[in-house]
Amino acid sequence: MSRCPVCGKTIKWEDLIEQMLIVDNFRELLKDKSVFLSALEEFVFKCPECSEEFYGRNLNLKEAEKVFELLNEFNGSIDYDNGKVRLKLTNLLALDLMLEEWDKRVKGAR
Ligand SMILES: [Zn+2]
């Protein structure tokens, strides 16, 4: 779950990535995970709840890595013309975590 470091409210990853779409070479960022992550860390996000600004390095970077993978995995995940993220990233991350947990439990039960 990504949270605003100022007010603690949950912010959807799709909203965060939409803010980043203003970066000129955003498409290029998606070609290299380390480039993407360092751009995200340096990016100044604005919380939709309290309007405070914060650096991306305050976000959960493990989730950011998964977001990178999800965006690359699905063709057309981003609608560049309208500046929209089509994927429900937050839901996909939750599902991913759930499957991981389930996998651990199944393996642990053996
Ligand atoms: Zn906030």
Residue 53 CA, ligand 1 centroid: distance in Å:
8
pTM of the model: 0.87
Domains of the chain: 13-105 (3.10.20.830)
Model confidence pLDDT, tens digit, residues 10-68: 999 999 999 999 998 899 999 999 999 999 999 999 999 999 999 999 999 999 999 99
pLDDT at 74: 87
Q: How much of the chain is helix, strand and coil, in % rounded to 5? A: 55, 10, 35
* Dist. CA 65 → ligand 1 center (Å): 22
Alpha-carbon distance 105 to 18, whole Å? 35
Q: What distance in angstroms lies between residue 60's CA and the mean position of ligand 1's atoms? A: 15
* Torsion angle (degrees, nearest 10) of CA 10, 15, 17, 19: -110
Q: What is the mean pLDDT of residues 76-81?
A: 93
More confident residue, 100 or 32: 32
